[in-house]
């Protein structure tokens, strides 16, 4: 071996060892993996195929790679670009070359049309190095500019470790999908800054912990208890995403559902107001073990996630009657809109399962912007150009069916199960609205009760699904056990769908 090669190998070995002993001690104390051991969890064959910027800042012994490892590798068969903070180097803080490496990785992902994975474990910017330079062409500001430019062009997936505040909290929320360790935290300012600015004293978890972001803000899509689980989730995510918006997710070997489609009619209760778990229905028509629920802890009245049907990747948007009756709230409007937008960006067909009494009413939701946020859901569905299949499962009242890709919203096909109901509102509300004075005038309570039941039954007959199928309100009334085979057929039929839209720059609603 020549001297030059030997010298380089020694230098590479030194920088790949990461930060100084005290930096590695911090990893042990906080139960974190060293970045290069962490990366092995994500990549096929545990290999980083090509690293870029390994020698960055090698002239400063304690700043190996300037605190970030960047390069390319393969995850679940997909070639990706990655960036990974090295917490052993100044707690993963962002210095001059660190920031430039992040930006170069983003530029590479755009040029190569490859997804990018961000493993964020950083205490923030090094103020002494970056103060005054965050608006430079290669400064931190451009990092978030490129996040925006990449959005919808190539998938961006992130994992958040530790506590990340200010600038380092932006990268996670710019990602299309974010995994957060359960003991991690992120916020626009640190607890110390918050106390100084407004006098509010909070712990990192109270301010921006994983539980809060998963259940309240909706800023995180998945929570992981261990680093192995976080890597498993990321590997599963990449099973459903294409390399760029110009491609489609590859087919995978088909699997039979974990529950028989013959069970579907028994899963759906006869009583339209009786709750049931929508996951049971999903498991009866998607490929076994393929459903990956997104934002499972947030706005649970709407269930969204990726799945496979006969090996083909799809996005599922389903009302969940087990939670709040499947009513659509401001939070579930945001959740639905963002997921539909994501699937449409990356050519993932959508299957809607409708079982909702509609949008929630009252002063609380009006103050929370139900109209404005509800329109986002309707807009996303209306604008989506991917194949869309609407399945009316049970009750479909009011404007809920608008957001859920009902017949007026140009789905490629609207299928209805025999349990389906489509109406402006449920019979109880409708009779109360139309006949309140008439019923109030009936003095005898028993007579009033009988007349109320008669009017409700009369109203229900007006939206009998057989009547609506006869009037072509739905395209086909199908046998429940045939739902999977019908979905397989239509997903195949419309895989090359062409949608015409008026020429414009973009809509103004999102």
The answer to whether 359 and 327 are in contact (CB under 8 A) is yes
* Average pLDDT of span 90-94: 90
Beta bridge mates, 84: 69, 119
The pair phi, psi for residue 141, each rounded to 5°, is -60, -35
- pLDDT of 462 strictly over 80: no
Task: Examine the pLDDT at 386 and tell me if it is beyond 60.
Answer: yes
Distance CA 217, CA 222 (A): 13
CATH number of the domain located at residue range(s) 3-238 in this protein: 3.90.226.10
Q: Is residue 347 pLDDT above 80, yes or no?
A: yes
Please state the rounded mean pLDDT for residues 374-398: 96
Give the model's pLDDT for residue 137: 67
pLDDT at 432: 75
* Amino acid 333: pLDDT: 98
Assign residue 398 a region: left if phi > 0, alpha if psi is -120 to 50, beta otherwise? left
H-only helix segments in 155-201: 167-174, 191-198
pLDDT at 311 over 60: yes
Mean pLDDT confidence for 150-160: 97
Between 380 and 189, where is the model more confident?
380
Report d(CA 477, CA 480) in Å as an integer: 9
Asked if 107 contacts 141 with a C-beta cutoff of 8 angstroms, the reply is no
Average pLDDT over residues 334-338: 97
**What is the maximum alpha-carbon separation in the chain?**
105
Amino acid 136: pLDDT: 67
Judge residue 110's burial from the number of C-beta atoms within 10 Å of its C-beta, 0-12 exposed, 13-18 middle, 19 or more buried.
middle
Q: Which residue has the higher pLDDT, 453 or 396?
A: 396
Sign of CA dihedral 303, 305, 310, 313: positive
- pLDDT of residue 493 exceeding 60, the answer is yes
- Note the pLDDT tens digit of each residue in 276-286: 999 999 999 99
The answer to whether 352 and 389 are in contact (CB under 8 A) is: yes
Is residue 389 over pLDDT 70?
yes
| Span of 45-54, 381-390, 479-488 with lowest mean pLDDT | 45-54
Can you tell me the mean pLDDT for 303-328?
A: 97
The predicted-structure confidence for 136-145, as pLDDT tens digits, reads as follows 666 667 888 9
pLDDT of residue 412: 97
Q: Is the predicted pLDDT of residue 330 greater than 70, yes or no?
A: yes
Looking at residue 125, what is its pLDDT? 80
Q: What mean pLDDT value characterizes the chain?
A: 93
| pLDDT confidence tier of residue 133, bands split at 50, 70 and 90 | low
Cite the beta strand spans of 206-271 per DSSP E.
222-224
Segment 33-62, tens digit of pLDDT? 999 999 999 999 898 999 999 999 988 888
Confidence of residue 1 (pLDDT cuts 50, 70, 90): low
pLDDT for 128 equals 74
Average pLDDT over residues 57-71: 92
Verdict on whether the full-model pTM lies above 0.85: yes
| Predicted confidence (pLDDT) at residue 225 exceeds the cutoff of 70 | yes
Collapsing DSSP to helix, strand or coil, 423 comes out as strand
pLDDT of 376 reads 97
The set of residues, in sequence order, having a beta carbon less than 8 Å from that of 457 and lying 6+ positions away, is: 427
Instruction: Using the predicted structure, report yes or no on whether residue 181 has a pLDDT greater than 80.
Output: yes
pLDDT at 433: 73
- The total number of residues shown for the chain amounts to 510
pLDDT band for position 451 (50/70/90)?
Answer: confident
189-211: pLDDT as tens digits: 889 999 999 999 999 999 999 99
Cα dihedral 468, 473, 477, 480 in deg (nearest 10): -100
- State the average pLDDT over residues 357-379: 96
Exposure string of 38-67, with b = 16+ CB inside 10 Å and e = fewer, is bbebbbeeeebeebebbebbeeeeebbbbb
Which class is domain 261-420+474-493?
alpha beta
């Amino acid at each position: 071996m020549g001297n030059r090669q030997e010298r380089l190998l020694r230098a590479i070995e030194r920088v790949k060892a990461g930060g100084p002993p005290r930096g590695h001690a911090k990893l042990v104390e906080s139960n974190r993996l060293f970045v290069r051991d962490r990366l092995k969890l994500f990549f096929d064959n545990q290999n980083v195929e090509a690293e870029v910027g390994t020698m960055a800042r090698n002239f400063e012994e304690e700043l190996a790679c300037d605190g970030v490892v960047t390069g390319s590798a393969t995850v679940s068969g997909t070639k990706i670009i990655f960036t990974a903070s090295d917490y052993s180097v100044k707690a993963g803080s962002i210095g001059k070359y660190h920031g430039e490496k992040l930006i170069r990785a983003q530029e590479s992902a755009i040029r190569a049309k490859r997804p990018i994975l961000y493993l964020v474990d950083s205490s923030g910017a090094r103020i002494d190095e970056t103060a005054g330079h965050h608006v430079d062409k290669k400064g931190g500001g451009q990092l978030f500019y490129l996040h925006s430019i990449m959005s919808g062009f190539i998938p961006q997936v992130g994992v958040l470790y530790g506590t990340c505040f200010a600038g380092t909290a932006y990268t996670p929320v710019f990602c299309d999908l974010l995994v957060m360790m359960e003991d991690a935290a992120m916020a626009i300012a640190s607890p110390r800054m918050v106390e100084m600015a407004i006098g509010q004293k909070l712990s990192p978890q109270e301010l921006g912990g994983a539980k809060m972001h998963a259940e309240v803000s909706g800023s995180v899509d998945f929570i992981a208890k261990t680093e192995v689980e976080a890597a498993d989730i990321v590997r599963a995510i990449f099973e459903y995403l294409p390399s760029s918006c110009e491609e489609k997710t590859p087919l995978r070997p088909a699997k039979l559902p974990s529950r028989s489609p013959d069970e579907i009619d028994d899963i759906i209760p006869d009583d339209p107001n009786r709750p049931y778990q929508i996951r049971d229905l999903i498991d009866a028509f998607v490929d076994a073990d393929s459903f990956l629920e997104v934002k499972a802890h947030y706005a649970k009245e709407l269930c969204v996630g990726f799945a496979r049907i006969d090996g083909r990747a799809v996005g599922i948007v389903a009302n969940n009657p087990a939670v709040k009756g499947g009513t659509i709230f401001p939070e579930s409007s945001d959740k639905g809109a963002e997921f539909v937008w994501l699937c449409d960006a990356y050519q993932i067909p959508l299957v809607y399962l409708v079982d909702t009494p509609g949008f929630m009413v009252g002063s609380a939701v009006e103050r929370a912007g139900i109209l404005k946020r509800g329109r986002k859901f309707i807009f996303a569905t209306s604008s989506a150009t991917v194949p869309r299949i609407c399945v009316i499962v049970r009750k479909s009242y009011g404007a809920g069916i608008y957001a859920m890709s009902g017949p007026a919203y140009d789905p490629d096909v609207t299928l209805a199960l025999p349990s389906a109901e489509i109406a402006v509102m449920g019979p109880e509300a409708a009779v109360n609205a139309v006949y309140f004075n008439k019923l109030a005038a009936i003095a005898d309570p028993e007579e009033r009760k009988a007349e109320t039941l008669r009017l409700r039954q009369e109203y229900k007959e007006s939206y009998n699904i057989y009547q609506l199928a006869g009037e072509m309100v739905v395209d086909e009334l199908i046998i429940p056990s045939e739902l999977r085979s019908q979905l397989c057929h239509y997903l195949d039929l419309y895989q090359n769908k062409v949608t015409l839209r008026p020429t414009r720059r973009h809509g103004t609603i999102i």
